[in-house]
A and B are shown apart, each in its own frame.
Chain A
Amino acid sequence: MKPMKRSNEPIFWSLFGAGGVVASLVAPALVFITGLALPLGLLGPDALSYERMLALVSSLPGALFLFVVISLLLWHTMHRINHSLHDIGIKAGLGGKVIFYGLALVGTMAAAYFLFATPL
């Protein structure tokens, strides 16, 4: 039997798994708050106001929270989308990995830049 090549999937599966926890535990609440409750006027008048959000991203815990949510959601979803291509019969191979994990990496770096390196 031919020697087996070690897959580097554990790196992406770990990020996918961590992102899955964020997606299942935090995302439903966040989506409801920012996408539905806020525009439909279910929250208080000050909710998600510029001042309060600025205070949130200016604090290290707040910035870290948003960074983790944005980055891990991207790693979670890009992993799934990459595998879905294979499921529908598209053999993207290395190209798929470069595109989708590349997108997750770019999103992660953008989130880091705007949350930690941009003067407010």
Chain B
Amino acid sequence: MPDRREIDIEVMRYNPETDSEPYIQSFRVPFDEDTSVLMGLQYIKDHLDGSLTFRWSCRMAVCGSCGKMVNGVPKLSCKAFLRDYYPGKLRIEPLEHFPIVRDLAVDQTDFLEKLEAVKPWIIRKDEKPLSEGTYLQTPEEVSSYLQFSSCINCLLCYSACPQYGLDNSFTGPAALSLLHRYNADSRDEGKSERMPLVNSEEGVWGCTLVGYCSEVCPKQVDPAAAVNRGKVNSTMDYFLRFLTPRGGVDS
């Protein structure tokens, strides 16, 4: 027998050309066991209101495009299911702490600048030629950064971070996790280029370990751990710079 349940989805709408502030619009959407929140939004766009604006791409929690606030909680809308909210209703809003461009789409420019600032690539002082083969790592060396490399830049952690919301000069969870991911990589030699950012007020010191970033992360990156290990590194750098020329952490 076909599933004929319906659920109310309240969506935050904002048209920058006509609205001075966002408002809520409610839709009634049919769903079954397999209907994700994203599919609910697609139903609204296809059948109820074609002007609804939101981002998505892969539908399988890989691309990181479809993050939304679902009942106040940052979620990948492709990884959340309508059945889990029934018989209640859903309130879908754009990701918190980012400026709203239109409806559920936010402006990610600030994050993209921060991502670039942490230099999220392997930096070598001397590149070895291809003929000498690849850079080898032990399983232990891989495990020291692997979880932090799972980040898909979905920005849920930024929406979970009140410190970023209060002061967006803070570099924030995902960018600092990726910074730590490269600093912790045995092949990387760029720590001294990244430490000035880590050591600054805008770096790890904007964090007060609220810890919600790690709860909402869909990839178990645990950004709070990356940021707070960054605090330990920065503290060592602060005191050991008087003892060793390179601050003790760039060994």
A: which residues have CB within 8 A of B?
A: 1, 3-11, 13-14, 83, 86-87, 89
**When A and B form their complex, what is the total count of cross-chain residue pairs whose Cβ atoms lie within 8 Å?**
42
CB pair A9 B239 closer than 8 Å: no
- Knowing A13-B231, A89-B166, the reply to whether A6 touches B238 (Cβ < 8 A) is yes
Residues of B171-215 contacting chain A, CB below 8 A: 196-197, 199-203, 205, 208
Name 8 extra pairs, CB < 8 A, besides A7-B199, A10-B238. A1-B117, A4-B197, A6-B199, A6-B238, A7-B205, A10-B237, A83-B208, A87-B162
Does B26 reach chain A (CB closer than 8 Å)? no
* Count, chain B residues at interface, CB 8 A: 19
Instruction: Report which residue of B162, B196, B199 has the largest number of chain A beta carbons within 10 angstroms of its beta carbon.
Output: B199
Instruction: Tell me the complex Cα distance, A6–B208, Å.
Output: 18
Q: With a CB–CB cut-off of 8 A, which chain B residues contact A11?
A: 238
Instruction: Tell me the complex Cα distance, A83–B208, Å.
Output: 8
CB pair A4 B231 closer than 8 Å: no
Does B149 reach chain A (CB closer than 8 Å)? no
B: which residues have CB within 8 A of A?
A: 117, 162, 166-167, 196-197, 199-203, 205, 208, 231, 234-235, 237-239
Q: With a CB–CB cut-off of 8 A, which chain B residues contact A1?
A: 117
Main secondary structure of the interface of B (DSSP, over half): helix
Q: With a CB–CB cut-off of 8 A, which chain B residues contact A13?
A: 205, 231, 235
Q: With a CB–CB cut-off of 8 A, which chain A residues contact B208?
A: 83, 87
Q: With a CB–CB cut-off of 8 A, which chain B residues contact A3?
A: 196
CB pair B166 A4 closer than 8 Å: no
B196 is contacted by which of A4, A10, A86, A87 (Cβ under 8 Å)? A4
CB pair A6 B200 closer than 8 Å: yes
Instruction: Tell me the complex Cα distance, A89–B239, Å.
Output: 31
- Knowing A4-B197, A4-B203, A7-B200, the reply to whether A86 touches B166 (Cβ < 8 A) is yes
